[in-house]
Amino acid sequence: MAKRITIDPVTRIEGHLRIDCEVDGGKVTNAWSSGQMWRGFENILLGRDAREAWLFTQRFCGV
Amino acid sequence: MKCCDSTHCDFTQESIAGGVSRRDFMKVCSAAAVYMGLSESFGPTIAEAATTAARRPPVIWLSGQECTGCTESLLRASHPSIGTLLLDLISLDYSETLNTGAGHQAEEFRAKSIEENTGKFILVCEGSIPVKDGGIYCKVAGRTALEILKETAPKAAAVISFGSCAAWGGVPSADPNPTGATPVYKILEGTGIPVVNIPGCPPNPYNFLSTVLYYVTFKKLPELDDKLRPKFAYGRLIHENCERRPHFDAGRFAEKFGDEGHRKGYCLYKLGCKGPETYNNCSTLRFNDVGTWPVNTGHPCFGCSEEGVGFKAPLHSPAEVLYVTPPAEFVSAPPEKGKGASALAAAVGGAAVGAAAVAVGSNLGKKDQDNKEN
User: Residue B46: what pLDDT?
Assistant: 81
Mean pLDDT of chain B: 82
pLDDT score of B140 more than 60: yes
B85-100 per-position pLDDT tens digit: 666 777 888 998 888 8
Alpha carbon of A36: minimum distance to chain B alpha carbons (Å): 5
So what's the ipTM on this one?
0.94
Number of residues that this document lists for chain A: 63
- Asked whether the beta carbons of residue A37 and residue B137 sit closer than 8 angstroms, the reply is yes
Nearest to A63 among B68, B96, B181 (CB): B68
In angstroms, rounded to a whole number, what is the distance separating the alpha carbons of residues B11 and B106?
A: 33
> Does B282 or B19 have the greater pLDDT score?
B282
Beta-carbon separation of A36 and B97 below 8 A: no
Please tell me the pTM assigned to this model: 0.81
Contacts of B74 in chain A (CB under 8 A): none
Chain B residues near residue A52 by CB distance under 8 angstroms: 314-315
**CATH 4.10.480.10 residue ranges for chain B:** 238-373
**Nearest residue to B42 via CA among B30, B55, B54:** B30
The reply to whether residue B175 touches residue A49, judged by beta carbons under 8 angstroms, is no
What does the alpha-carbon distance between residue A29 and residue B91 come to, in Å, rounded to a whole number?
Answer: 40
Residue B217 has pLDDT above 70, yes or no: yes
Interface test with B, best of A5, A34, A39 (most B CBs within 10 A): A39
Please list the residue range(s) of chain B that carry CATH number 3.40.50.700: 11-234
Task: Say if the Cβ atoms of B99 and A52 lie within 8 Å.
Answer: no
Instruction: State the CATH class of domain B11-234.
Output: alpha beta
User: pLDDT, tens digit, for every residue of A10-61?
Assistant: 998 888 999 999 999 999 999 999 999 999 999 999 999 999 999 999 999 9
Q: Which CATH architecture has domain B238-373?
A: Irregular (4.10)
Q: Between residues 205 and 244 of chain B, which touch chain A (CB distance below 8 Å)?
A: none
Q: Which residues of A touch B101 (CB under 8 A)?
A: 11
Q: DSSP of B64-121, one letter per residue?
A: -B--SHHHHHHHT-BTTBHHHHHHHHSEEEEETTT-SS-HHHHHHHHHHHHHHTTTTP
| pLDDT band (50, 70, 90) for residue B127 | very high
Structural contact between residues B143 and A9, judged by C-beta atoms closer than 8 angstroms: no
Greatest Cα-to-Cα distance within chain A, rounded to the nearest angstrom: 55
User: What residues in B contact A9, CB-CB < 8 Å?
Assistant: 96, 102-103, 106-107, 140-141
C-beta of residue B55 within 8 angstroms of C-beta of residue B49: yes
Region B36-40 average pLDDT: 75
Dist CA B207 CA B200 (whole Å): 10
